[in-house]
Chains A and B, each alone.
Chain A
Amino acid sequence: MQRTGLFLERVGFLQRLNPLTKLTGALLLIGAAFLLPTPLAGAALLVLALMPLAVASAVLRSFVDVLLKTLLPVILSLLLVQGLFFPGADPATIMLGPFAFRRAGLEFALTTASRLLIVAGAPLLIFQTTHPIILVQALTERGMPRSIGYILLVALQLIPAMSERAAGVAEAQRARGLETEGGLLQRARGVLPLVSPLIVGALVDAEERAMAIESRAFTAPGRKTWLHDVPDPPVERSARLVMWLALGALIVWRAAVAVV
């Protein structure tokens, strides 16, 4: 079972970058999607930036796959709801079959959807090209509390472990004659014996795991080391500076335009 979240074991451009560079890049792209005056800036950035990066990192197919599966239902419902019920004053409509869509509503839905593509796509690309441990290491080295990093990592691994345990609980209780199929009443009867061992087991595990990480010196005072190296060459540091400046310039420019 996949235990490293969305990460894909590939070799490519983004995989070689420091996670902080990728995070800064994502921030810049998200900022641009909101700040650029073009209506479909997000969609354009997806095609011009994220997809070429996905190609260079050998994850294009699964990037598009996950993005579509996640966002398509959201975008479709946005178009429907905003297109049919947009409260704006613009009376212009577009007829699609028997339905009259409000043009302003469709425009709003498209702009929002296009931003969503970047808001979801940029982090997705980071997760697909960064091993969780490297991401947490990079953030921890920049001052993120180690306990937060631990919680992020443990959650990734324990969710599949819990689902395996759930399968074990179901087996144990079915072997004791519990019907897990059938009518609603039948299923309702099965909730307690199926859920309770899972919760109690998780609580007991949590206590023992706390002991385990204590005994592995998690809270030991002093400097920590990391087994893996997360390189941060000067060129990347300069690139991050440029990206921060670009983001700053974008904000200032938008603010200035708004004032004028």
Chain B
Amino acid sequence: MPDSLPVVELRDATFTYAGAAEPALRGVSLTVPPGQICAVVGRAGAGKSTLCALCTGFVPHFYHGQLNGAVIVNGQDVAAHPIAELVRHVALVGSNTFSQISGARFSVYDEVAFGPENLGVPRHEIVERVDWALQALKMSHLRDRSPYALSGGQQQRLVIAAALAMRPPVLVLDEPSVQLDPPGTEELAALLRALSQQGMTILFAEHRLEWVAELADRVIALDHGAIIADGVPADVLADPVLRRAGIGWPRPALIAERARREGRWPAEHPLPVTLAGLVEGLAATRNGTHCEPGHQRNGGEGEQGSEEASHSNQVSHTSLHTLALTPPPAVPSSTPPPLVVLEQVHFIYPTGVEALRGVSLTLGRGERIALLGRNGAGKSTLVRHLNGLLRPSQGTALVAGNDTRKTTVARCARHVGIVFQDVRNQLFARTVRDEVRFGPQNLGFPPDQVEALVERAVDALDLRDAIAEHPYDLPPARRRLVAIAAVLAMNTPLLVLDEPTAGLDGAGIELLSRLIRELSAQNRSVLVVSHDLDFCYETLERVILLREGRIALDTRFDALDATAITTLDNDVGLPIEVRLRHTG
């Protein structure tokens, strides 16, 4: 395959956005052969989205600027052809799903047909393509639903289906996994592999390095717009240059590196980037055999590798257990009085949907809590009960001892701060400073205390350099940090974060993890709603699993027994470390 003519070719491409002082891409040269799955990794602002836009013609035709060098996609010189022509050669799936929906069609089925209609595809073929795309994305049952009535994850699948129905030789995806839960990402990986085997060339930008390691044939790492590493995942993702650039490593590499430091992973063995590679390597080390780097997944062997991993019985439970990045040590929790008490809470929406069916739980001080559950399990409804935005249809919700039926949301906000997933609903001020100041001002803190809280929150989220900027002038990942800072500054005993790691790079996630631990050390509690199980496992201690409006599990990560592991696995999957132990 490497001998085939490249489908995507960049020759010394440099692009500077109009009005920008620095180029977003610097001298990028790469060739992608047909059928290759090529991942682009890098910190927020490294140029990943610009590269995606460049390969699809949106740079320079939609976002203007100065382009030097050549970009050829499926034989088309991108600079010389308008987007209207390039769409026959390459499709782009952007990162914000809501605005990827055309708005011109009223059902999922028609939405997927919109692209082929515009391409003038004959009707019978449109029907064929739409049926195929919906089936591939497992959403045939949603065909008559309004695109706007879908969940975030379903909308993500819809926009991918819509792109696929255009049958592009090249598919470019900008952070395709950001809205998907773990089973959703696995399904998407399987689909992309199948498409690549059928000859489709796939280029995708992504933060989740574990997913990249499992899926990609090749990884390109960008830093400040330039390529700093390019090669197979096994080589690139465990390259020290990635850590130096703040991109980080996938967890299996980190775990093996720790094992190496502790003398349990031979220095001459390469670090694995996939779970399968880690399990194999550990087994080989234990048995005294050499670990071949070629055993790590490369190309289309990922599923086979995972299967091997999940069936491997050769890894000793104890050795893996001690190797795992153990969850943080326990902090004495539930010091009375509790922050929030829910007693037999039921909630029925006006539509008749019963989202909560008898939830009872107590959130104490200094706790770090993960709230997990599939889409539709009731997580969002539960979160809205923590500050009185929703009030129980039955049962009681007490916030700092006050019944939410007898108090206002603004009063509850003194005790519980919530950062919702869509930060665009929150940001409104002209500067980061004003944005962060809004919450504590509302709560009536004296002016000098407001300023002190703002300063602390800005520093905690590493926003000092951006304090005078407009939040919308920052990259989306930093905008999320602004939203978190704005609620952190309210100094509430409980901070609730809904999908806080979505779109954050490794450094951002590390910052967040550190912040949560610091808050916990100050006896403040943090509740995180997230699909990022590894982040939850490494940062949080208590895990609450919701299923169909009921609590299916409420325990600690370090106390997961076999039943709890099975329950968790069935609903949301397992963090890598738990899977490692479980494999043993």
Contact = CB atoms under 8 A, between A and B. Distances in A.
Contacts of B142: none
Contacts of B387: 175
Interface stretch (A108-116, A120-128, A195-203, A239-247): A195-203
Nearest to A133: B106
A225 interface: yes
A212 B428 contact: no
A1 B425 CA distance: 20
A164 B424 CA distance: 13
A219 interface: yes
A4 interface: yes
B349 interface: no
B113 A214 contact: no
B92 interface: yes
Contact of B118 (A131, A192, A196, A224): A224
Contact of A212 (B94, B113, B427): B94
A161 B148 contact: yes
Contacts of B409: 174-175
A99 interface: no
Interface stretch (B83-91, B302-310, B500-508): B83-91
Given A176-B487, A197-B426, A211-B62, A221 B106 contact: no
Given A177-B439, A215-B83, A133 B58 contact: no
B99 A209 contact: yes
Interface stretch (A14-22, A28-36, A62-70, A150-158): A150-158
A27 B130 CA distance: 38
B106 A3 contact: yes
A117 B62 CA distance: 47
Interface in A178-219: 178-179, 181, 192-193, 196-197, 200-201, 204-205, 208-219
A220 B104 contact: no
Contact of A178 (B126, B146, B417, B442): B442
Nearest to A203: B472
A157 B83 contact: no
Contact of B106 (A131, A179, A222, A229): A131
A168 B422 contact: yes
A169 B425 contact: yes
A173 interface: yes
A175 B389 contact: yes
Given A168-B425, A171-B420, A200-B427, A227 B123 contact: yes
A13 to B, nearest CB: 23
A226 B428 contact: no
Contacts of B82: 219
Contacts of B315: none
A177 B387 CA distance: 10
Give the residue among B94, B96, B424 with the most A Cβ atoms within 10 A. Answer: B424
Give the residue among B146, B425, B472 with the most A Cβ atoms within 10 A. Answer: B425
A130 to B, nearest CB: 13
B413 A175 contact: yes
Contact of B83 (A204, A214, A224): A214
B527 to A, nearest CB: 13
A216 B166 contact: yes
Given A177-B490, A213-B104, A220-B88, A200 B443 contact: no
B119 A153 contact: no
Interface in B418-441: 418, 420, 422, 424-428, 438-439
Contacts of B472: 200, 204
A249 interface: no
A196 B56 CA distance: 32
A204 to B, nearest CB: 7
Given A150-B104, A216-B162, A224-B118, A176 B417 contact: yes
Give the residue among B91, B118, B126, B384 with the most A Cβ atoms within 10 A. Answer: B118
Interface of A (DSSP majority class): helix
B9 interface: no
Contacts of B117: 224-227
Interface in B298-330: none
A171 B62 contact: no
Contacts of B449: none
Contacts of B408: 179, 181
A23 B130 CA distance: 32
Contacts of A149: 104
A219 B62 CA distance: 13
A172 interface: yes
A173 B427 CA distance: 9
A205 B98 contact: yes
A176 B87 contact: no
Contacts of B162: 216
B431 to A, nearest CB: 13
A172 B425 contact: yes
A29 B224 CA distance: 67
B352 interface: no
A217 to B, nearest CB: 4
Interface string B175-197: 00000000000000000000000
Nearest to A156: B106
A160 interface: yes
A223 interface: yes
Interface in A60-78: none
Given A211-B94, A220-B118, A171 B425 contact: yes
A176 B148 CA distance: 27
Given A4-B106, A175-B389, A212-B102, A227 B120 contact: no
B104 A174 contact: no
A174 B410 contact: yes
B426 A172 contact: yes
Interface in B481-529: 486-487, 490
Interface in B106-152: 106, 110, 113-123, 126-127, 130, 146, 148-149
A105 interface: no
A217 B85 CA distance: 8
Contacts of B118: 216-218, 220, 224
A174 B426 contact: no
A83 interface: no
A132 interface: yes
Given A208-B94, A225-B120, A220 B87 contact: yes
Contacts of B102: 154, 209, 212-213, 216, 218
A227 B127 contact: yes
A225 B123 contact: yes
A206 to B, nearest CB: 8
B426 A173 contact: yes
Contacts of B110: 133, 227-228
A227 to B, nearest CB: 4
B148 A200 contact: no
9 contacts: A1-B149, A150-B103, A177-B442, A179-B442, A192-B428, A213-B102, A214-B84, A217-B87, A227-B126
Given A193-B428, A214-B83, 14 more contacts: A153-B104, A169-B426, A175-B420, A176-B426, A176-B439, A178-B442, A192-B428, A209-B102, A213-B102, A214-B62, A216-B87, A217-B166, A222-B119, A227-B117
Interface of A: 1, 3-4, 131-133, 149-150, 153-154, 157-158, 160-161, 164-165, 168-169, 171-179, 181, 192-193, 196-197, 200-201, 204-205, 208-229
